[in-house]
A and B are shown apart, each in its own frame.
Chain A
Amino acid sequence: APAASASFDLRRYWTSLIADVESELDAAMPMQPPESIHSAMRYAVLPGAGKEGAAKRAPPVLCVAACELLGAPRAAALPAAAALEMLHAASLVHDDLPCFDAAPTRRGRPSTHAAYGTDMAVLAGDALFPLAYTHVISHTPCPDPVPHAVLMRVLAELARAVGSTGMAAGQFLDLAGATALGEAEVMQVLTKKFGEMAECSAACGAMLGGARPDEEAALRRYGRTIGVLYELVDDIRSASGNGKMRSNASVLRSLGMDRALGIVEELKAQAKTEADRFSDKYGDRVLPLYSFVDYAVERGFELQDAAATL
């Protein structure tokens, strides 16, 4: 394992990256007629003011970090990173709907339907999905350095991750109460709802960075593992406080705290093993991926504070 892990400043890396992603997102959604829908879309994707306002933007971090690991420019991955946030936000807007999770708040402020009405929230989600594809196509540097065939694969990957065998499957299973069942079902929900999106993020970064097939496969496994890890730690952290969603509390009830902590250790080891595969070839460039594993577990800093010092 790279000994320099401790000296790498993930917070600085992440903060500068989030700033890039935020400005990419801001520019991708200009206010234009009809203003109501564009305002709702911006509200769903862009961070609000206040303590819990800053979004963590884990999918774009994974996407860009995977691309930069391979030595490719950040510009190749930034449009896909922004698209991942749009797709993610679209799913969350629909997940929060009164007929779904009925979540009145998200990131410490009213959820999109609470602020704009249920009908507008349905449509904001419906518009954010295609905007993600439009954005990737119109902003990714193509055909150089990203060939059309690679961009086509990225589009397929994005659509797969949020589809009926990916994140939507997780939402469906969660809705059906799978997190109240055994460990296998709980892990299935976490893998589908969070692992797929994280795998997609790393896979897109890999493709856009020109990864070899074995590198892409390792980054996929890394992404999937860290997606589940990140969420499980979130569930553990919020179990003592107020559970955000239906699934949070029931994940911990089903697994039990001891087993949940055991799984965290297993996932952490797996993710580090995948990241280690790259250390010989890419040296210090693996540090963002490597330190991200520790951060997922320890949460050594708050991004709000980081954003405030920017």
Chain B
Amino acid sequence: AAAASAATTEFDFKAYMGERAVAVNRALDAAVPAGEPPAALHDAMRYALLAGGKRVRPALCLAACAVVGGPEPWAMPAAAAVEMVHTMSLVHDDLPCMDDDDLRRGKPTCHVVYGEPIAVLAGDALLSLSFHHMASVGSYPPDVDPEKHPARVVRAIGELARCIGSEGLVAGQVVDLEMTGTSETVPLERLEYIHLHKTAALLEASVVIGAIIGGGTDEQIERLRKYARSIGLLFQVVDDILDVTKSSEELGKTAGKDLASDKTTYPKLLGLEKSREFAEELLSDAVEQLACFDKEKAAPLLHLANYIAHRQN
């Protein structure tokens, strides 16, 4: 037990994330068909997908698989899939007819480099690839349980599809769109609806599908779902705080954009101090859900929650 707690305190989060990012990038690179035509479409997909980023969603997926006792490689196809979906939503979100952003992760956005129609198509193709990658037998290591694995994969795909569709991610984008451009302030519950859908839904999917593939029980899956929803909302609250406290250079994207566009944010509704308090509340809600898991196995999820709460960009 002493060794276990020592291991927990000495958990090297930076190394953990670095190793996962390398493995995820390798999986993403291999998943986009290389050498198959049309080369320019695959280039655009690769450009958007391999632009960097910390791979927080894949890491959550892998960590959720591990926390329920599943081998991490089983969840790698799902981890790659959630990053593809995330990238796709950014590519479409940045389009001139949507948020009209020129800069993403410090680089010109996909439509700036490849043109609008290719960016629409590259996004669609990434979305298809995410489901194709998850549903293909060949994506998984040979040691998966041939009896239980297909049912888990089907359930996980259903979960991912539900979380990103018109009742999840897209619902958040729609309500966000409808709020943008109106001069009135968005009430708190509306703001929470937007973020629970626009941001938290994909984090929820990342965690839940990792746990499903890893063979988690229904009770474990539901606890992890609560954990994910808390850190999902937390992610956005922190994002709002960073937007008013950091520069574009520090963020790698346009800072102060929320203020410039008169967008409703947590700092605007609650003030900066109360927003920070809310963030701490969400963090402790999330951490509470991890109590029933093995401490050592839960260390990555614990540190991921802390990282999301205290990140600087």
Give residues in A with beta carbon < 8 Å to B.
32-34, 36-38, 41, 90-91, 94, 97-100, 118-120, 122-123, 125-127, 129-131, 133-134, 137-138, 142-143, 147-149, 151-153, 155-156, 158-160, 162-166, 168-169, 171-173, 175-176
Which chain B positions have C-beta within 8 A of A130?
127, 131, 160-162, 164-165
Known: A34-B175, A37-B171, A134-B165. A99 touches B132 (CB 8 A): no
Query: With A123-B173, A172-B41, A173-B38 as given contacts, are A163 and B125 in contact (CB-CB < 8 Å)?
Result: yes
Max chain A C-beta neighbours (<10 A), residue from B37, B95, B124, B167: B124
What's the least CB distance linking B270 to chain A, in Å? 24
Digitize B151-178: 1 where CB-to-A-CB distance is under 8 Å, 0 elsewhere.
1011101101110111100110111011
Give complex CA distance A76, B224 in Å.
34
- CB of B38 to closest CB in A, whole Å: 5
Cross-chain contact A159 with B135 (CB below 8 angstroms) = yes
- Smallest Cβ distance from A42 to chain B, in angstroms? 11
A15 to chain B, nearest CB (A): 30
User: Are A152 and B161 also in contact (CB < 8 A) when A122-B120, A172-B41 are?
Assistant: no
- How many CB-defined contacts (below 8 Å) exist between A and B? 159
Given contacts A122-B97, A130-B164, contact A37 B120 (CB under 8 A): no
B52 at the binding interface (Cβ < 8 Å): no
CA distance in complex: A158, B131 (Å) = 9
B129 at the interface (CB under 8 A from A): yes
Chain B nearest Cβ from A209, distance in angstroms: 18
User: B255 an interface residue at 8 Å Cβ cutoff?
Assistant: no
Q: Are A152 and B166 in contact (CB under 8 A)?
A: no
Q: Is the CB of A131 within 8 A of B174?
A: no
Q: How far is the CA of A36 from the CA of B175 in the complex (A)?
A: 9
Asked if B129 and A163 make an inter-chain contact with CB atoms under 8 angstroms apart, the answer reads yes
- Bound together, the chains give a CA A228 to CA B95 distance in angstroms of 32
B242 to chain A, nearest CB (A): 26
User: For the complex, would chain A's binding face be called helix, strand, loop or mixed by DSSP majority?
Assistant: helix
Q: Taking A130-B161, A138-B158, A163-B128 as contacts, is the C-beta distance between A119 and B120 under 8 angstroms?
A: no
A-B CB contact pairs (8 Å), 8 listed? A90-B124, A99-B96, A100-B120, A138-B158, A147-B150, A152-B154, A164-B36, A168-B121
Q: Which single member of A33, A126, A156, A164 contacts B45 (CB below 8 Å)?
A: A164
Asked if B173 and A168 make an inter-chain contact with CB atoms under 8 angstroms apart, the answer reads: no
Which residues on B are within 8 Å of A, measured CB to CB? 32-33, 36-38, 40-42, 45, 88-89, 92, 95-98, 116-118, 120-121, 123-125, 127-132, 135-137, 150-151, 153-155, 157-158, 160-162, 164-167, 170-171, 173-175, 177-178
Question: Contact partner of A41 among B32, B33, B45, B166, CB < 8 A?
Answer: B166
In the bound complex, how far is the Cα of B127 from the Cα of A94, in angstroms? 13
Given contacts A94-B121, A168-B125, contact A137 B151 (CB under 8 A): no
Are B120's CB and A152's CB within 8 A? Answer: no
**One of B38, B155, B173 near A169 (C-beta < 8 A):** B38
Q: Please, how many angstroms separate the alpha-carbon atoms of A169 and B120 in the complex?
A: 13
Tell me the nearest residue of chain A to B129, going by C-beta. Answer: A163
B58 to chain A, nearest CB (A): 19
CA distance A126 to B174 in the complex (A): 11
Give the distance in Å from the alpha carbon of A260 to the alpha carbon of B167 in the complex.
45
B132, A156: Cβ atoms closer than 8 Å: yes
Give the shortest distance, in Å, between A94 (CB) and chain B (any CB).
5
Contact of A156 with B136 in the complex, beta carbons under 8 Å: yes
Q: Are A133 and B131 in contact (CB under 8 A)?
A: yes
Most B Cβ at <10 Å: residue of A33, A36, A130: A130
Instruction: Give the contacting residue for A171; candidates B121, B135, B137, B165; CB below 8 A.
Output: B121
A34-B174, A99-B116, A130-B161 given as contacts; is B166 within 8 A of A168 (CB)? no
Who on chain B is nearest to A150 by CB?
B150
Given contacts A137-B157, A168-B124, whether A123 and B116 have CB atoms under 8 Å apart is: no
| One of B118, B128, B150, B170 near A123 (C-beta < 8 A) | B170
Residue of A nearest to B111 (CB): A99
Distance to closest chain B CB from A99 (angstroms): 4
Whether the Cβ atoms of B178 and A156 lie closer than 8 Å is no
Q: Given known contacts A126-B92, A130-B162, A164-B128, is B38 in contact with A172 (CB within 8 Å)?
A: yes
Shortest CB–CB separation between residue A272 and chain B, in angstroms? Answer: 30
Chain B residues, Cβ within 8 Å of A131: 161, 165-166
Given A127-B165, A129-B124, A158-B131, 13 further pairs, Cβ under 8 A: A100-B117, A120-B174, A122-B95, A122-B97, A127-B166, A127-B170, A131-B166, A137-B158, A138-B158, A156-B132, A169-B41, A172-B40, A172-B118
The distance in angstroms between the C-alpha atoms of A178 and B32, with both chains bound, is: 23
Please, how many angstroms separate the alpha-carbon atoms of A160 and B96 in the complex?
Answer: 28
B132 — which chain A residues lie within 8 A by C-beta? 156, 159-160, 163
Q: Are B98 and A37 in contact (CB under 8 A)?
A: no
Pick the 6 closest A-B CB pairs, nearest first: A163-B128, A159-B132, A156-B135, A148-B150, A99-B116, A164-B125
How far, in whole Å, are A151 and B89 apart by their CA atoms in the complex? Answer: 26
